[in-house]
Amino acid sequence: MLADVIQSPAEATYWLVQGRILFLWISLVGVACFAYIVAKRLAPLMRGAPDFRFDRPLERLGKVLQFWLGQWRHPRYRTAGTIHLLIFAGFLILVIRAFSLLILGVDSGFAMPGGHFYDIVKDYAATIVFLAVGIAAIRRLVFKPARYAKGNTADAIFLLALIGVLMLADSVFEASKAAAHQQAGQSVEFLATLSMPWVLKNALLKNALTSASLPVLQNLNLGGFFVHEVTFFFLLCYRPFGIQFHVETSLFSIYFAKLDRETLKPVRWGVGDDQLDQVKSFGVKTFEDFTWKHMLDFYSCADCGRCADQCPANAVGRPLSPRFLTTKARDYSFQHYPILGKSNNGTALIGTIYSEDEIWSCTTCGACEAECPLLVEYIDKIVDLRRGMVDDGKVPQSLQKPLKSLESRGNPFGKMEKKRAEWAKGAAKILSGPLNGNATAETLYFVDSVTSYDDRIQAIGRATAKILTHLGEDFGILGAAEKDSGHEVRRFGEETLFMTLRDHNTEAIRASGVRRIVTADPHAYNALKHNQVYDDPREVLDAIPGLRRVEMKRSRDRSFCCGGGGLALFYEPQEEQRMGVRRVQMAAEAGANVMVTACPFCMVNVEDAIKVAGMEGKMTAIDLAELAGQQIAG
């Protein structure tokens, strides 16, 4: 039918070359360029540190279905998420469309199976994507959401424009063909009502020039096809130069994403703890020290800014934005592994693209990871960078003393071991262990350092012991045999010290003969087991008569760190406002006059922040264990 009215691109002649030959060449050159560029981009990954991500394939496929195909986290930001969902859904359909057009360029008789259903879907997909990229461009240029600040807006707009051109060119190709058929009185090509090709076809038929002239429609048809093909390959080869590379890499980085999020990566994959003394250099010092998966993360970041938007360090003006950690590493990779020319590696990252303060500013709270729609990892990278700094002796002055104390006394305060159980006199028995008597119990209450030594926090320990006693639990503590859980030490980057503490505690716990462990400290809990407990503490609160619970704007997996993680109790980076103060303000905004904590670090920071914010008398803090303890008589 088509051959009767206008020539198909494969049959037509473009600048003396038959379309079929021209489009075959465009495809071959396009694919070859893309393969070359991707190979160059993968070069640093080949030099990266090992990373074991090949286990549990079914679970990994599930992640791909949920987070890549299902775009699970996108709707957390409603407007941007909806736009992205539309573009992504359209993208999936239009990838099929683009490949069908590539075949049509060499085989004029090719038709996609699916008939009118396929036509309707692809016409509407092109229309929706065209409108969505338009809205996305207006958002970036006119409304400028704060989280896009300092982003590469020009690159983003250029890419959105290319996608728009692709949709428009395809629609012109379709519309001109349908208009030509209609003019010739032949059965009209099927176009979805009110779709972009449908609107264009009607416009062409109403236009005086095109309504009368088949040659003009022919040229529009061939031109639309040519522009689509060239733009498609240009886009394919251009994407690996900027943020749009995530289109290609995100599927793989989600497949290889970390499955057990609450754990930290080992110093080096494949090297056991007992072989660590053979590792010459700890952590990440140069770009090539990152694992291949972490490098893949750098390519997969879409620069959406959500991680930075949720990051408490960024919110209080510390010199850290997780988004920039990634984009700086990506720029570094692009610069040092150029598409043309030799790679140039081995530069120290600290002092060039990252500052020491930037890396120490992180509280390892994980808000960035909880938000990233592409499951980009941060804590492991930051801890690896810290391991590198610790290995080079770059430890902030204020942290040197607590670290020494942890080494010599097993707690960061430098207090005597024998004083560790003083708070528990009459409240808990001390279990047998290398340093203790012969007492045993079913349950061990693992107290950890802050609760053991801090005068205010000891009350949480006593409340916990009271609850356990009330429940009739046969429990005890390790007392002097307990050392710091090492949770913070490990996140600080001191792996060897962490291992010493862990091994000591493991031995002491074994020797005590207990069958289970409880703790009132989420950091200790995390060092022993995994976290993510949101409902249980709320149920406890709701069971207290007369208590009205209100939620802060940021809670559960969108919570806001108090500022105490990662040994930050002993380190204060530059900041405009304390995280704790911001948190207290959030509680006041929620209408609360009491803040309930479930973590000793939170209690230390929140009580301090109430004073700093001048809210004494208006706001008080109490730990969940203390509150529950008050409900028990005696």
By CB under 6 A, which span of 29-37, 255-263, 371-379, 613-621 interacts with ligand SF4? 371-379
Among 12, 45, 267, 374, binds ligand SF4 (CB under 6 A): 374
Does residue 585 contact residue 613 with C-beta atoms inside 8 Å?
Answer: yes
Residue 366 binds to ligand SF4 (criterion: CB under 6 A): yes
Residue 312 binds to ligand SF4 (criterion: CB under 6 A): yes
Read off φ and ψ for residue 477, nearest 5 degrees. Answer: -120, 165
Q: Round to whole Å and give the CA distance between 289 and 346.
A: 9
Q: What is the DSSP string of 163-187?
A: HHHHHHHHHHHHHHHHHHHHHTTPP
Query: The tokens of 300 are what?
Result: 């997969």
Task: Please choose, from the candidates 19, 17, 16, the residue with its C-alpha nearest in 3D space to the C-alpha of residue 27.
Answer: 19
Nearer to ligand SF4, 467 or 527 (CB): 527
Does residue 440 contact residue 514 with C-beta atoms inside 8 Å?
Answer: yes
By CB under 6 A, which span of 135-143, 372-380, 402-410, 504-512 interacts with ligand SF4? 372-380
CA dihedral 426, 429, 433, 437 (to 10 degrees): 80
Give the Å distances, CA to CA, from 119 to 94, 124, 229, 313, 508.
11, 9, 19, 49, 70
Residue 379 binds to ligand SF4 (criterion: CB under 6 A): yes
Read off φ and ψ for residue 501, nearest 5 degrees. Answer: -65, -45
Task: Please choose, from the candidates 309, 292, 497, the residue with its C-alpha nearest in 3D space to the C-alpha of residue 377.
Answer: 292
Does residue 409 contact residue 415 with C-beta atoms inside 8 Å?
Answer: yes
Residue 522 binds to ligand SF4 (criterion: CB under 6 A): no
Q: Minimum distance from CB of 78 to ligand SF4 (Å)? A: 16
Does residue 578 contact residue 597 with C-beta atoms inside 8 Å?
Answer: no
Q: Minimum distance from CB of 375 to ligand SF4 (Å)? A: 8
Q: Round to whole Å and give the CA distance between 241 and 243.
A: 7
Among 307, 459, 598, 604, binds ligand SF4 (CB under 6 A): 307
Q: Round to whole Å and give the CA distance between 267 and 263.
A: 12
Q: What is the largest CA-CA distance in the chain?
A: 103
Q: Round to whole Å and give the CA distance between 364 and 381.
A: 10
Give the interface size with ligand SF4 as a residue count (CB under 6 A).
28
Residue 364 binds to ligand SF4 (criterion: CB under 6 A): yes
Q: Minimum distance from CB of 88 to ligand SF4 (Å)? A: 13
Q: Minimum distance from CB of 77 to ligand SF4 (Å)? A: 10
Nearer to ligand SF4, 464 or 605 (CB): 605
Residue reference for tokens 């207090």: 415
Residue 294 binds to ligand SF4 (criterion: CB under 6 A): no
Q: Minimum distance from CB of 367 to ligand SF4 (Å)? A: 4
Among 378, 446, 453, 525, binds ligand SF4 (CB under 6 A): 378
Q: Minimum distance from CB of 310 to ligand SF4 (Å)? A: 6
Residue 362 binds to ligand SF4 (criterion: CB under 6 A): yes
Residue 254 binds to ligand SF4 (criterion: CB under 6 A): no
Nearer to ligand SF4, 132 or 365 (CB): 365
Q: Round to whole Å and give the CA distance between 497 and 491.
A: 11
Among 363, 464, 485, 526, binds ligand SF4 (CB under 6 A): 363
With both helix axes pointing from N to C terminus, report the angle between 196-206 and 115-138 in degrees, rounded to the nearest 10. 90
Residue 367 binds to ligand SF4 (criterion: CB under 6 A): yes
By CB under 6 A, which span of 160-168, 215-223, 228-236, 368-376 interacts with ligand SF4? 368-376
Residue 303 binds to ligand SF4 (criterion: CB under 6 A): yes
Window 552-571: contact mask with ligand SF4 (x via CB under 6 A): ---------x----------
Nearer to ligand SF4, 363 or 452 (CB): 363
Strand blocks (E) in 307-452: 429-430, 443-445
Nearer to ligand SF4, 222 or 376 (CB): 376
Positions that interact with ligand SF4 (CB under 6 A): 301-307, 311-313, 320, 322-323, 326, 362-368, 371-372, 374, 376, 378-379, 561
